[in-house]
Amino acid sequence: MSPAVPRELKRRVEALRRLRDSGLARVPEDPVEFAVEFLSWRPFPYQVDLLTDPSPRICVCAARQVGKSTTAAAKVLHLCLTRSGSRGLVVAPTLRQSALFLERVEELLKSSRAGHSLVAGRDRTSVRFVNGSRVVALPSGRFGHTIRGFTADLVVVDEAAFVPEEVITQALMPQVATTGGSFLMISTPWDKNHVFYRCFTSGDWSVKRWPVSVCPLVPSGFVEEQRGLIGDEAFRREYLAEFVEDAASFFSADLIRKCVDDYDPQPSGDADLTAGFDWGGRSDPNALVVVERRGDALRVVHVESWMSDSYTYSASRVARLQREVGFRVALEEIGAGLLIREQLESYGVEVIGVGPAEVERTMLLIRVLMESGRLRMYLDSRLIDSLRAVKHERTKGGRVRFHHDPGTHDDLARALALAAWGATVSGSGSTASLLEA
């Protein structure tokens, strides 16, 4: 007998067993009973409010660490397990985030004594149930090509503020048009120039705001510590769930979002790589950003930061990564930068010095590249927060002066600016050619 026959027979027997067990599993119609009795998960009052909301259009503006993804996962599961043949579609800005959401679904099922008997199969992007229902989790991409053509009974857009508006309005919303399904957007706030904000302020949507204070699991001491560490604007966005106007920011929230792509940040084999290194000193982090140049476009492939006031340690850390990956390093030749350059060159690292007169221009360069779509970055919250922290003002002489508010850090933004500058003045490129392309 072929080895394939017993395996096929075993799969059929397992499917029959699951079908039998599923008939014995009672799935409560009440969403709160479903959460408590079936999933063994006890939601807080604000989560109950979402679970029991029957509105076809719901928009939740939530702080970080309040359990928004868990609540949305439970809502999708309740639909799929109580309505045979239904489909829940979950879309997030990146493949990693959509995969994490699917993991949250599976974690809830594992906590259920009967949940495993209702699962018919799993793959990388979906969980299928014996009643014909299915949960599918996918990344949005820049244009929504991979999610067009679906129909769904419930669409969940996780971290909706970072999903391109055109994907939400043109690819996702039509998916519930023929099914009479529901649409749920849930996200930390970002900016007001996006469909997420417009829906949150619309009278046609059921809207909810979850500041961190709604969640009893987050200690008040931690919250106060974050208030002092990340600056007022970021704190209001991420912990108070407020939309914050930021007219002084050099990089607008909308511009940053348009530069974010979903890709694997690994350099290709023949990549032309340049790193920007910003020395932090005693009070600020050291920051390193590596970009890959392809023609007239740059792509971020590595981001890291660390605290150390030893330039010897920091230089050796940069040199170790340089030996692994291979890149030239651009850094400011100001103060300790001169000593760091000597240290890096002693390790055999090619260094591009950026003088005091050029530092201002590095920020101008990356904004030009961002506005022209020639600088792409993956969704790294540290880099994005750092870009958002860069403030600017005009001096009496007409120049642009850059600064950042107390409690915020622009180190990674400066490292990115240095990397972009270095990528244009070395190798076959030039700053002028990249700006004029």
Q: Tell me what percent of the residues of the chain surpass a pLDDT of 70.
A: 90
Rounded Cα distance between 66 and 58, Å, is: 17
Please check whether residue 285 is in contact with residue 307, taking contact to mean a CB–CB distance below 8 angstroms.
yes
pLDDT of 267 reads 84
Alpha helices in 148-246 (DSSP H): 165-166, 195-200, 220-230, 232-238
State the DSSP code for 172.
Answer: I
Phi, psi of 428 (to 5 degrees): -90, -5
pLDDT of 398 reads 64
Asked if the model's pLDDT at residue 429 lies above 50, the reply is no
Domain ranges of the chain: 19-221, 253-436
Mean pLDDT of the chain: 87
**At 95, which amino acid appears?**
L
pLDDT of 370 reads 94
pLDDT of 341 reads 93
Element holding 421 (H helix, E strand): helix 411-425
pLDDT of 142 reads 80
Domain 253-436 has CATH 1.10.10.10: no
Rounded Cα distance between 323 and 105, Å, is: 41
Asked if the model's pLDDT at residue 71 lies above 80, the reply is yes
**At 341, which amino acid appears?**
R
pLDDT of 230 reads 77
Which is more confident, 339 or 408?
339
Tens digits of residue pLDDT in 194-226? 999 999 999 999 999 999 999 999 888 888 888
* CATH architecture of the domain with range 19-221: 3-Layer(aba) Sandwich (3.40)
Tens digits of residue pLDDT in 8-63? 655 554 554 554 454 446 899 999 999 999 999 999 999 999 999 999 999 999 99
pLDDT of 9 reads 55
pLDDT of 428 reads 43
Contact partners, residue 282, CB within 8 Å, separation at least 6: 309
Model confidence band, residue 6 (pLDDT cutoffs 50, 70, 90): low
pLDDT of 437 reads 43
Tens digits of residue pLDDT in 344-394? 999 999 999 998 888 888 999 999 999 999 999 998 989 998 999 898 877
Contact partners, residue 175, CB within 8 Å, separation at least 6: 89, 147, 150, 151, 152, 155, 181
Tens digits of residue pLDDT in 100-127? 999 999 999 998 888 888 999 999 999 9
pLDDT of 10 reads 57
Please give the average per-residue pLDDT across 402-409, as a whole number. Answer: 81
Model confidence band, residue 432 (pLDDT cutoffs 50, 70, 90): very low
Number of Cβ within a 10 Å radius of residue 369: 25
**At 286, which amino acid appears?**
N
State the DSSP code for 71.
Answer: H
Rounded Cα distance between 15 and 264, Å, is: 36
Please check whether residue 139 is in contact with residue 159, taking contact to mean a CB–CB distance below 8 angstroms.
no
Element holding 354 (H helix, E strand): strand 351-354
Asked if the model's pLDDT at residue 318 lies above 70, the reply is yes
Q: Which residue has the tokens 């970072």?
A: 162
To 5 degrees, how large is the angle CA 306–CA 384–CA 142? 135
